[in-house]
Amino acid sequence: MAPIPAKSLLPELISGSINSRPDVRFDVTVRDADSLLQLLLAEEIDFFVCLAGQLAPPARVIGTRIARFPMSLLVRAEHPLVSGSDKGQRRFPLIMSAHVTLPHDSRMLLGPHVDGDPVLIASDLHLLSRVTQDTDSVWLSSYLSAVDEIREGRLVELPMFRGVETIILLYRLERRTLSPIVNDIIRSVNALARRIISEATSQ
């Protein structure tokens, strides 16, 4: 999985899978989408999950939509955009874990608040969280990947970006036959993603 869906989905997915399949060994890779694609093409992994717009895969790679996925702009709790001290006069550094394709109207929401090009792209979500907490950076991510930080009051979701969504996709090779266990895991990924995201967006 790519970092953002991994942080949101993997803990519950793996815990549930280990409980129900204690005899199966799981080999999980969390990397950026381009690296995952190369591993898939080399047949070193069976499938991977990432956000839409991160890849232009070759024809022999099939992408299947899993679920809608909420996106967020996250800042530290004392950020000028939270306190109102900025008065719309500054644009803040943008950081992100990967380039994400957003609808045009959603990209327009970024314009008044952040610089156009990100100053930091990193697959390490812990690093991005710490940088967001320690600077005036605006982190384009999902609140699902920063649940603990938001609950503890270290990060805040900016309200003007709520409701913005992308989708998560599952990629696999077109002609490769997957084992029954892998197909079961893929079904679990689909069901878990839909449930977690549905519960989160209804709150």
116-135 per-position pLDDT tens digit = 788 898 889 999 999 999 99
Same domain, 88 and 157: yes
How does pLDDT run across 151-201, given as a tens digit for each residue?
999 999 988 777 788 888 999 999 888 888 888 888 888 888 888 777 766
Same domain, 56 and 91: no
Can you spell out the DSSP letters for the chain?
--HHHHHHHHHHHHHHHHHH-TTPPP------HHHHHHHHHTTSSS-EEEETTS----TTEEEEEEEEEE-EEEEETT-HHHHT-STT---B-EEESS-----HHHHHHHTTTB-SS-SEE-S-HHHHHHHHHHSS-EEEE-GGGSHHHHHTTSEEE-GGGTT-EEEEEEEEETTPPPPHHHHHHHHHHHHHHHHHHHHHHH-
- Counting the structural domains of the chain, the total is 2
Which residue carries 């690296």 as its tokens? 35
Q: Which pTM value belongs to this model?
A: 0.83
Same domain, 87 and 54: no
Q: Can you give the CATH number for the domain in which 150 is found?
A: 3.40.190.10
Domain ranges, residue 46: 3-69+165-202
How does pLDDT run across 38-66, given as a tens digit for each residue?
999 999 998 999 998 888 889 899 998 88
Same domain, 132 and 172: no
